[in-house]
Amino acid sequence: MSLHDEILEQPDIINKLLVSQEENIYQLARTIGVPRGIFIAARGTSDNAARYAKYVWGSFNNIPVSLAAPSLFSIYHKPPDLVDLLVIGISQSGESPDLLAVVEEASRQGCPTLAITNQAESPLANQSDFVIDIQAGPELSIAATKSYTAQLGTIAMLSAAWNDQGSQWNEIKQVPEFMDKALKTELMIKNFSSRYRYMEQCIVLGRGYNYATAFEWSLKLKELAYVVAQPYSSADFLHGPIALVSDGFPVFAIAPSGMVYKDMIRLITRLQQDHRADLFLISDSQEILDLADCPIPLPKRIPEWLTPMIGIIPAQLLSYHLTLAKRIDPDTPRGLSKVTLTT
């Protein structure tokens, strides 16, 4: 199965996740209860899923979420006090030794532990008290796509289960349909990709729930198309990095309707009018798409908190088609393997 196949598979994967894991996630949420705080260990794409969790569990469940510094556990052997926290390891493979070190220490301190993984028999899963199998199926391409959106889906489902909110569940169940619509932008994205075939560096912007999307999009541009893509919150971007942008500098941004929209359109307008940036924009708002050199429409009426699951699909497709435009094999990026064993 190719990277392109795995991108197209994502609506079916989320459907499968909803059908197969709803009862398990509800039971897990009842057993654990709403934790006082959550401590997440993750790397790479899974770390970007953890960024999404900070916003979802913080906003919907009032849970403070922090991301681990795994080297404190595996290299410095100076772990922080984790008492009363739920410790979660998020990993596609469940094999990274430094993530395992975090979960092992959490168990030593008497904390409940949860693995969110695509490998239910992995070392991480076996070490954890609870396991959610994201059931993305074999992900053969090195660049993670369907496992990422399945991780996001799991995080959203856990939030709904902790709240015992039918309204949240109903919104999540619309995600596969929204994904199908997002996939229909592929031809447009393919045509735009040749515009950037000589690009060596760019900026990627997102805020709020889509802070995670900015990081994941930039990672895909780096590992597939070998572009030096720097991700920023639109707020952080104003504190210095905006000086990087001059005439024709490529800026990629996701700016759906919602609480951060006004902030995003102010910045995008400034980048267009004052800096004359080359803008590739993903949004459901025609107002902001009108500012773009390359506008990619999102489906209408996606709840803001779920837009990262849909908005990342055009970003994945752009990264894929840009890789082809640069005559790079998207299934064998240089210097990478599917499982990265960091210690």
Separation of alpha carbons 323 and 311, rounded Å: 19
Looking at the DSSP bridge assignments, the partners of residue 130 are 114
d(CA 72, CA 242): 33
Q: Which residue bears the tokens 């773009």?
A: 292
Q: List, in sequence order, every residue forming a beta bridge with 91; answer none if it has no partner.
A: 117
Show the tokens assigned to 343. Answer: 């210690």
At 101, which amino acid appears? A
CA distance 28 to 61: 15
Burial pattern 326-341, b for ≥16 Cβ within 10 A else e, equals beeebbebeeeeeeee
Cα(77)–Cα(57) distance, rounded to whole angstroms? Answer: 29
Q: Pull the structure tokens for residue 197.
A: 């075939």
Structure tokens at 229: 């893509």
Q: At 208, which amino acid appears?
A: G
> Which candidate in 173, 184, 300, 338 is catalytic?
338
Task: Give the contacts of 68 (CB within 8 A, at least 6 positions apart).
Answer: 39, 40, 41, 42, 102
- Residue 326: active-site member: no
Please provide the size of the chain in residues.
343
The residues pairing with 284 across neighbouring beta strands, listed in sequence order, are none
Backbone angles phi, psi at 19, to 5 degrees: -70, -45
Catalytic positions, written as ranges: 338
